[in-house]
Amino acid sequence: MIRAFVCASLILVAASGFAQTPPPTPAPAAAPGAPSAPAPPPKAWTSLSPQQQQLLQSHQGEWNSLPPDRQQALAKGSQRWLSMTPQERSSAQQRFTQWRAMPPEQRQVLRQRWQQYRSLPPERQQQVRESFNRFRQMPPEQRSELRRQWRQMTPEQRRNAVQHGPSHAPPHPPPHAPPHAQAPARHNWR
């Protein structure tokens, strides 16, 4: 059950992840003499559809000065937005508003968790999604109890629970647990 809670937090990151594209990470330096991956070509403003241009009009004046990878990300995001249903757009807008209200430190933590999730093999990502869905279907009281147990675990117990399942982590912290293990969670999970 603890694993379901951990997975739920990872999926929350996934849900929040598309709300704002994280800053591009620098590419690893290529070995001397090794060919480097070519940068994407700049995307011309006129190559965007009229609907995309309307969505991205606030970027029109700076478009040519944006890095090509940022242009590509904006074009892809606008296309994704245009393909959404009104309900999906409303949900995305709500998540974006929540994202913008978060402190920068919390956004950074979520970006790191999203990267961790994305680095998992596809079958493990599927397990995480299934665990998240099981967590969401639990009664509110059961979810609250899982959250309480999670907050009381030490970081080591949490790692063990994530890696090996809840049977490897005691449900309560030992008496000498550090104070931060008993601090209330910063997240307001639903």
Mean pLDDT to the nearest integer, 21-50: 64
Does residue 27 sit within a domain? Answer: no
Does residue 82 sit within a domain? Answer: yes
Give the count of domains, the chain.
1
Does residue 129 sit within a domain? Answer: yes
Does residue 13 sit within a domain? Answer: yes
Tens digit of each residue's pLDDT (9 = 90 or more) over 157-167: 888 877 766 55
Residue 42 has what pLDDT? 85
Amino acid at the residue 156? E
Residue 43 has what pLDDT? 86
What burial class does residue 46 get, using C-beta atoms within 10 Å of its C-beta: 0-12 exposed, 13-18 middle, 19+ buried?
exposed
d(CA 144, CA 189): 9
Domain that holds residue 89: 2-19+51-56+64-182
The three-class DSSP label of residue 152 is helix
Does residue 15 sit within a domain? Answer: yes
Residue bearing the bigger pLDDT, 4 or 137: 137
Tens digit of each residue's pLDDT (9 = 90 or more) over 120-170: 999 999 988 998 899 899 999 999 999 999 899 999 988 887 776 655 545
Does residue 133 sit within a domain? Answer: yes
d(CA 58, CA 187): 32
Does residue 38 sit within a domain? Answer: no
pLDDT at 28 exceeding the cut of 60: no
